[in-house]
Structures are given as structure tokens and as C-alpha cells.
Structure 1
Amino acid sequence: MRALTEARGVSLAALSAMLGRNAAYLHQFVTRGSPRSLAADDRRRLADFFGIDEAELGAEPPRNAFPLPRLDVAASAGPGSLIDNETLLGTAAIDTALARHLGLHAGKAVIVRVRGDSMEPGLVDGDLIVVDQAKTRPDAQGGVFVVRIDGAVMVKRVRAGRGALVVTSDNVAAPPPPPGPVEVIGRVVWLMRAPR
């Protein structure tokens, strides 16, 4: 918690106030272990604030859960973003039955964040998507995939065309994807979004 607050330049007192608690709430948690664990609502709000998984703040994963690494990669739904590296932010989990229904296999699926508006209305800026890295061959019907074009990672609709992949955006107002060879990273199989 100390490292997180230092990196963000915020105080424990300010975060306590954000949670609607007294100014000493998080200071006592960090220094004295009181309370022993953060309330679920407080933990969720802090995890959202820091952009980390709740498990890093002491949340127990659900018993019947399929773990998914959450990477510090934004799949641009705009002009594309360059990736220097793929840093693990933490691990999230989905129900095992859902993972089985989606056909996910351990080590072959990740969670990434969408950036931009070129895939609206289906995907909007800030959405978290589950990407199945085992599915890298679009057919003629196509689907939504995370791709890399000229070093930029983006989420686009991709289908197999005559001798090449056809890459498009869902938002008709979006500029066309850049030219270049398309590397398919994986298929988007699930959208993790709170109702809007």
C-alpha cells in the first residue's frame, strides 16, 4: 500500500477520506494491521483507483475460479498503441464453468483493456476484454481479435479474405487501420464490463 501511494503521490489520509472513512483508517491498516482486512467495498474502490487486482489488497479468489492474468497492455480501438513490454498487473478470475464454455485453457488467455472508440458501440474505451490466445486464425465469418500491425496493438474486426486478412473497425467514423502485415494475437471471447 505504501508503494502504491508513493507512486501515485497520494496520502493514506486522502485515500481514507475518498473511502468515507476517518483520516487514520488506512494508516492504522498499514501500520497496525487494524482492521485485519479491508472491507470488500473499500478494497474494490482502492483497486479501481490504483488500477490493480483486488487480490493485491488481500481479496480471496473465488473457490470455483479460473485465473486470468491481467496485462498492462491496452488494445487500442483507435489508431494503435505501441507496446514496450507486457507487465503483469495482477490476476483476475472468472467462473470455471464460464471458462469451460468459452473453451479457455490455462496459460492461453489474458485480460487487456480497450483504448479508444473505433470499436464502438460494442467495445468502448476502458472496457476489459478476455483474449483467447489459442484462437489466432480468423475464418471468412470473422470476429473481434487483438492484432498487431506495424508494432501497434489494437482490437479490430478481422476476417479471412482472398489471400489476406481483412481488418476493419465497427465505428464507421473511425479512420481505417494502418497498412501492413497483421499478426493475430488472439480472439476476444468475453467482455468484462459493469452495466452502463
Structure 2
Amino acid sequence: METLGSRIARLRNAQKISQTELGNRCGWEKGQARIGNYEKDKREPALPDLRALAKALGVTLIDLLEEAPSAVTEHRGDYNYSPSATDYALVPQYTACGAAGHGQLNDHVEVKGGLVFKRDWLTRMGLRERHLHVIYVQGHSMEPTICDGDVVLLDETQTTPRDRRIYAIRKPDGELIIKRLIQSIAGGWMIRSDNEDKREYPDQPISDTDIEQIKILGRVVWHGGAL
């Protein structure tokens, strides 16, 4: 299996450029050491670094993150069709987990491949590829809407709380939770779990002032999981 590091090296060698030159194209100081660590899989590039690498190598983000050749094909008529970067967007998937339960600490986050979404669907939904990422969900507090082990698609531009929407929220102690926000008629908000067991997953009232202090990382705009 080709790793991300070996793929970066392969694409760089195909262009016959050095690690130093690739680092310079990305605009990085000490670029040679950085590229060297990436190619040896000693470090995992963050999303902005992946975009810079893809641009510097003259490839799409899909080409950079996917193994080549792609094993994903769709049968159309009498021939096999391979999804292209023109029709599909590869949204990076982070190793971070959002807890549908009592909170999940993520001290270290890496990018591990991603999920592919049709570009026309993203357009219909009003979503922009560069503002999206995918994470796993752990816990049972959002069942039956979102289950343990599901993946969710986050739009990081949607950080203003809206009534009855589901968000990824980072609590002051650093825990990452996936919850629904409910606006109270009497004022303030509720951080609510969809699970009906309120003894285990009680509502958490929060004032209008306090909700401005919590860190909303993005709104959950799609989820998928096993049946």
C-alpha cells in the first residue's frame, strides 16, 4: 500500500525536483526538512499543507490523498467509469472524534484520506469544499439521529447557533461534542442530546451570554454509517 509520504515522493520525483525546491514552491522555511519528514511519514501534513503540496505538485487534492490508480469504479453501460476530480471532491477526514456522549479529547489531530462527494451535490447544498471536513462520532447520546461509529460532514463556516441544528462544539475544557442546539422561548439555549434517556443524557441549559463563549467548530450537514 502506498503511503501519503511515498506518494508525495513519487509525485515530486515525477517532476524531477528536489525536496528543497518543493518546499520553496510551498513557501516554507526549512522546506527540505519538512518535505523529508512528510515523505518518510514522520509527520502528517495538516489540511493547509496538503493544499499547498497539491498546488506545488500540480495535482488535485484527490490525486494527492488517493492511491493511484484509483480502485473506485462505477459501471456505466459497457464501460467502467472512474470518478474524476472534475465531478467529485475529496473532503479530508480527520482522526479527531466528536463525542455523542460525555465528550472526547483530541490532543493530536491528523488527516487520514477522506470521503468523496459529488460536486453538484455540494453546490445544491450551498457547501464549499475548502470549508468541509469529516470526523468520526463516538457515543450514543445522539441516537437515533447519529449513531456510534458514524461519520459526519462538518461545514466550518456555519458557526452561528441556529435553532434545532446539530453542531460540533469544543467545550472550555477541550472536549469535543456533537449536540443539537435548541433556542428557548424564555431566552437562552439548550445543548440537547437526541437520545430520549435524559437521565443519562440530560439537557444542558446555557445563557445567551455563555453560548457566545463556547467554540462552535461547524455544523453537521451530513452523516453516514452502517445499517
TM (normalized to structure 1)?
0.64
Q: Does 1:146 align with 2:157?
A: no
Cα 1:84–1:56 shift into 2, 3 Å: farther
Measure, in 1, the Cα distance between the counterparts of 2:125 and 2:165. 14
Measure, in 2, the Cα distance between the counterparts of 1:125 and 1:67. 23
1:55 to 66, 79, 103: 66
User: Secondary structure, in 3 states, of the residue corresponding to 1:156?
Assistant: strand
**Residue 214 (structure 2) aligns with:** 182
**Residue 58 (structure 2) aligns with:** none
TM (normalized to structure 2)?
0.56
Count of aligned pairs between the two proteins: 144
Q: Deviations over 1:139-180 (max 9, x none)?
A: 2x2311111113100100013456644211000223337788
Cα pair 1:144 1:157 within 8 Å, conserved: yes
User: Secondary structure, in 3 states, of the residue corresponding to 2:120?
Assistant: helix
> Which blocks of at least 5 consecutive residues in structure 1 are unaligned?
4-53
**Residue 79 (structure 1) aligns with:** 102
Measure, in 2, the Cα distance between the counterparts of 1:92 and 1:128. 10
Cα 1:113–1:58 shift into 2, 3 Å: farther
Measure, in 1, the Cα distance between the counterparts of 2:180 and 2:102. 14
Shift, 1:60, TM fit: 5.8
Measure, in 2, the Cα distance between the counterparts of 1:176 and 1:152. 17
> Which blocks of at least 5 consecutive residues in structure 2 are unaligned?
4-64, 73-82
Cα 1:56–1:152 shift into 2, 3 Å: farther
Q: Does 1:156 align with 2:188?
A: no
Shift, 1:73, TM fit: 0.9
RMSD: 2.6
